[in-house]
Amino acid sequence: MSREQVLACLRACGNYVSGEALSRRLGLSRAAVWKAVDTLRKEGYVIEARTGLGYRLAGTPDALTESEIRSHMGSTITVGRDLLCRAEVDSTNTWAKRLALEGAVDGTVVVADCQTGGRGRLGRSFQSPAGKGVYLTALLRPSLAPESLLPVTALCAVAVCDAVEEVCGLRPGIKWTNDLVLGGRKLCGILTELSLEAETGQVQYLVLGIGVNVLHQPEDFSEEVAQVATSLAMELDHPVSRSTLAAAEIRALDRLYGAMESGDLAPWLEAYRRDCVTLGHTVQILSPDGRRETVEALDIDEQFGLVVRRQDGTQDIIRSGEVSVRGMYGYVE
C-alpha cells in the first residue's frame, strides 16, 4: 500500500517533495517512504532525489500496471471499475471467464503483459510476447437479449480504432469483421465470447478480448506471422505508451457499453462503414466446408453483415466466415 501512496503523491506534486512531507501527508514512517521509493525505482520509475528538496518523479516505465493505466484513464461509468493486471497469463479471455464464474462485477477489465496461450478466432493462436503489446479483456454482464449482441465484435473494432486514433493520431482500417489493419497488415485481433444460461437463454456474461501489437518489431513475430502483421511502432517509427493505449481502450469500451445499453448504435455503424477496408473490393469468402467464392463487397447492413454481389449478379448478406481482401494478407488471385 505504501508504494501506491507514495507514487500517487509524487504524481500529484509534480515537483520535489521532501521525505518528511511525504511521511507526514501519508502517515508513514520515513523508513517506509524510503522503502517505497526504492521499490518504485526497481520497477523502472525514475525518481530523482536532491538534498534539501526531496524526491521528484522524473519518469515512468512502460508498464501495464493498475497504477500506470489508471493514471491515464480518468473516470468511467462501468468498464474498468475493477482493473486487474498481471505480468503473465495463459489468456486474458480465459482469465476473465474464470473471474466471471467467481462472481466478478460487470465492467471488470483484465490486462496482461504477456499471454502464453493467446487465442484468436477459429482456434488460432495469437502471439503475445512480453513487453510488446496490450492484451486486454473486458467482462460485461449486459441486460440485453443474446440476438442484440451479434454485432458486438464489429462494434468493439470501432472502439479500438477510436482508442488508437486518440493516442497515436492515425486511425486503423477494419477488415470485416474485426481485424484492425494498417498498411495492409494486421494490427489487432479481437475475440468475443458469450455465455448463456441454459434454462432461460439469458446472457450470463460477455468477454471482449483485444490484442494490439504496439512495440513489436518484425523479429518479434514468427516467420509466418511477420508476413501479415504490423505494430504501431513499426507504422509510426516511434514507440507508443502501452499504458496510455490501454486506458484509451477502456474508455472507448465504456462508451460502447453505454451505447449498447441505450440502443443508440447508429453512430457506431456509420463509423464502421467508414473504416471498413473490405468495402468496394473484390474479396474471397471461405466457407466452413473449405469452398472459396469470389464476390464484390458492397455494404454493411444494420446488423453489421457484409452485403456482397455474387458473380451471377445476385446480392447476399454474409454473417460469418473468413473474408480475404485482394492485396491484403497475401491474397492476390
333 domain residue, yes or no? no
Name the E strands within the chain. Answer: 46-50, 54-59, 83-89, 108-115, 133-140, 173-175, 179-182, 185-196, 203-213, 282-286, 292-300, 306-309, 315-318, 322-325
User: pLDDT tens digit string along 278-315?
Assistant: 999 999 888 777 788 899 999 999 999 999 999 999 99
Q: What are phi and psi of 285, to 5 degrees?
A: -105, 125
In the block, residue with C-alpha cell 480475404: 324
Note whether 133 and 80 are same-domain residues.
yes
Q: What is the CATH number of the domain that holds 6?
A: 1.10.10.10
Res 329: pLDDT: 62
Note whether 110 and 157 are same-domain residues.
yes
Instruction: Tell me the whole-structure pTM to 2 decimals.
Output: 0.87
User: pLDDT tens digit string along 205-262?
Assistant: 999 999 999 999 999 998 888 889 999 999 999 999 999 999 999 999 999 999 999 9
Number of domains in the chain: 3
Half-sphere exposure of 185 (CA within 13 A, CB side): 16
Within 10 angstroms of residue 158's Cβ, the number of other Cβ atoms is 27
Amino acid identity of residue 185, one-letter, is: R
Note whether 51 and 92 are same-domain residues.
no
Q: In what order do the strands lie in the sheet with 322-325?
A: 315-318, 306-309, 292-300, 282-286, 322-325
For residue 214 the three cell numbers come to 504496439
User: pLDDT tens digit string along 54-84?
Assistant: 999 998 888 999 989 998 999 999 999 999 9
Note whether 220 and 93 are same-domain residues.
yes
**Cα separation of 330 and 324, whole Å?**
9
Note whether 184 and 107 are same-domain residues.
yes
Note whether 131 and 169 are same-domain residues.
yes
Note whether 271 and 315 are same-domain residues.
no
Question: Residues 203, 144: contact at Cβ < 8 Å?
Answer: yes
Note whether 220 and 96 are same-domain residues.
yes
User: pLDDT tens digit string along 91-142?
Assistant: 999 999 999 999 999 999 999 999 997 665 545 556 788 899 999 999 999 9
Q: What is the CATH number of the domain that holds 123?
A: 3.30.930.10
Q: How far is CA 200 from the centre of its chain?
A: 31
118 domain residue, yes or no? yes
The helix (run of H) or strand (run of E) holding residue 25 is helix 19-26
331 domain residue, yes or no? no
Note whether 251 and 137 are same-domain residues.
yes
Within 10 angstroms of residue 313's Cβ, the number of other Cβ atoms is 6
Comparing C-alpha atoms, which of 130, 131, 90 is closest to residue 110? 90
Q: What is the CATH number of the domain that holds 318?
A: 2.30.30.100
Comparing C-alpha atoms, which of 304, 105, 111, 92 is closest to residue 205? 105
Note whether 177 and 219 are same-domain residues.
yes
Burial of 126 (C-beta count, 10 Å sphere; 0-12/13-18/19+): buried
Note whether 206 and 71 are same-domain residues.
yes
Q: Which residue range is the domain that position 79 belongs to? A: 66-275
